Structure 1
Amino acid sequence: MDVKGIGVHYFNQGQGDTVLFLHGWGSEFGSFKQFLDNIAPYYRVCALDLPGFGETGEPPEGWSVDDYADFVLAFMEQLDIEKAILIGHSFGGRIIIKLASRKVLPIKIEKIILIDSAGIRRKRTAKQKIKQCFYKAVKQLISLEYLRRKFPEALDQWRRKNSSPDYLNASPRMRECFVKVINEDLTPLLPQISYPTLIIWGDADLETPLEDGKTMERLIPDAGLVTLKNAGHYSFLDQSFTFSRVLDSFLNITRAS
């Protein structure tokens, strides 16, 4: 299926009310596969590889979170989804925060689930600020034409040593997106979310610390936090059984024993 000129790989099974899953940065909807299959007998379950991930094409330019949110709305429109429960992990959570905080939407959101969600930009410490200034200075220095000719691999070596894995593993286009995405703090949007919100977090998440989940619970008016023990950033995979039970409860799914 094409959405805004981009070929999209997606999942669409089941009937009834819709549950839409949005995956994290560097992932694809296949990370949710076991849960998609488990919920499909009770709901219409949809998911997609977001642009630039999995089997979906890259965006035509460096996209912001708002651009991805607009794309998700266009995807939902093509599938005739007028209302949905939104579930997002990490970057998918960013997109949901953007959508849920908008005053006007073409769709109705019933509930949202944020799993180890990104979106809170923590204040840098003095040490981090100094390191960032040093990084920028060195980057500018080794980017000079003379030095690039004399040491052609210097900039790439510096980037590999000092950049995050998500940035390093991305294509040039997706690096543009990554920079736009991580530099936007969504904290001010959280109080504007009026939907029932379940927040699920791994207590050992090192990428988006549990403190971020507690902040989201505090700032989103109708929110509750469930902490999964001994789980990291992919808490829904690390503790899949417990996650499934929590998901069933929030979605009002009663399974035969």
Structure 2
Amino acid sequence: MKINVNGYEIAYQITGEGEDTVVILQGWGTELATYNSVAACISDRYRVVQFDFPGFGASDEPREPWAVEDYAKFFLDFMAALGIQKATLIGHSYGGRVIIRLAARESLPFTIERIVLIDSAGILPKKTWKQKMKIRRYKMLKKIVSLKLVYAICPRLIDEWRNRQGSADYRNASPMMRQCLVKAVNEDLTELLPRIRQDTLLIWGDLDTATPITDAKLMEEKIPGAGLAVIPGTGHFSFLENPALFRSIMQAYFA
């Protein structure tokens, strides 16, 4: 299904028929179907909404580079379009960033009942000296290869170099979504964590390298009343890597 929100065609689906609503906010570069197993954990008791953010899956791409706050504002309009006045929010990776932004606000036009953050992004890692030097070297090379004369001399070599830069998410994104991703990964939401007032469950893979377990422990420390459930032997998609244990955790929390 699709719904028009502020001129954007947004893909979404609703499963379950419970009185209470749960909305799943996706991770970067995924599509809503990635979270079907998450929805299935609780759809026997809850109405579960899945959707694609603008620029994700089958939804229209933003017409300008959006920061996390822009996605948070969009989500408010999406909730209004569906007439949802209260819901529990589940966020994986990038979706967690948006939830943190929303939950830290003084007031919202809808009520967040509970929060589940799965391998959530939001903590800006401290860069080592080696990483800082690598970034500095990259910026210098970027300036050089951006010169028209240099590109004219060896365009293929420069294109190959550009295609090797950045993370897999960055390389696979469109030019517009690359700008959105850069805005996200350079934002640290740590200072917002103590403002989250909702009951919060953190679910994490202990082998996650994208958002390491140290991020989870910091969130558990900073978010009042937060609890952490670790899924051993899993990475950034812990809910897919050990679906049985993930299902048990979810069903216990939503019992």
- TM-score, scaled relative to structure 1: 0.95
CA offsets, 1:14-35, max 9 Å, x none?
2311100011000011111123
**Structure 1: which amino acid aligns with 2:5?**
V
1:154 matched to 2:153: no
Which of 202, 205, 208 is the equivalent residue of 1:202?
205
Correspondence for 2:119: 116
Structure 2 residue runs of 5 or longer lacking an equivalent are none
- What is the CA distance between 1:73 and its match in structure 2? 1.1
SS in 2 for 1:166: helix
CA contact 2:41–2:251 (8 Å) conserved in 1: no
Aligned to 2:10: 8
Match of 1:69, SS state, is helix
Residue number in structure 2 paired with 1:67: 70
Q: Give, as a single letter, the amino acid of the residue that structure 2 aligns with 1:237.
A: L
Gaps of 5+ in 1: 253-257
What amino acid is aligned across from residue 198 of structure 1 in structure 2? L
How far the C-alpha of 1:149 sits from its partner, in A, is 1.1
User: Residue type of the partner of 2:176?
Assistant: R
Partner of 1:93: 96
Amino acid aligned to 1:10: Y
Contact 1:142 1:154 in 2 (8 A): no
The alpha-carbon deviation at position 53 of structure 1 amounts to 1.1
Residue equivalent to 1:131: 134
Q: State the distance in 2 between where 1:166 and 1:128 align.
A: 19
Residues in 1 aligned to 2:189 and 2:158: alpha-carbon distance in whole angstroms: 31
Alignment of 1:22-101 (within 5 A): 22-101=25-104
CA offset at residue 11 of structure 1?
1.1
Report the equivalent of 1:255.
none
Deviation, structure 1 residue 216: 0.5
Which region of structure 1 is more displaced relative to structure 2, 131-140 or 154-163? 154-163
Alpha-carbon distance in 2 for matches of 1:98, 1:179: 17
Residue 164 of structure 2: SS of its match in structure 1?
helix
Contact 2:89/2:116, CA 8 A, preserved across alignment: yes
- Secondary structure, in 3 states, of the residue corresponding to 1:9? strand
Moved over 3 A (4+): none
What is the letter of the counterpart of residue 246 of structure 1? Answer: I
Q: How far apart, in 2, do the equivalents of 1:134 and 1:54 lie?
A: 34
CA–CA distance in structure 2, aligned partners of residues 178 and 33 of structure 1: 24
| Aligned residue identity for 1:62 | P
TM-score (ref. length: structure 2): 0.96
Write the deviation string for residues 64-110 of structure 1: whole angstroms up to 9, x where unpaired. Answer: 00111111111111111101100000001111111111111101011
How far, CA to CA, are the matches of 1:70 and 1:222 in structure 2? Answer: 26
C-alpha separation in 2, matches of 1:221 and 1:101? 12
Residue 151 of structure 1 and its aligned partner are, at CA, apart by 1.5
Query: 3-state SS of the aligned residue for 1:207?
Result: coil
Equivalent residue letter for 2:92: H
Report the secondary structure of 2:228's partner residue. strand
Equivalent AA in structure 2 for residue 148 of structure 1: Y
> 2:176 corresponds to which residue?
173
Counterpart AA for 2:4: D
Aligned length: 252
Query: Between the two proteins, what is the percent identity of the paired residues?
Result: 48
Deviations 1:130-174 (A, max 9, x none): 110001001101111100111123332222223111110000110
Q: Which secondary structure does the structure 2 equivalent of 1:40 belong to?
A: coil
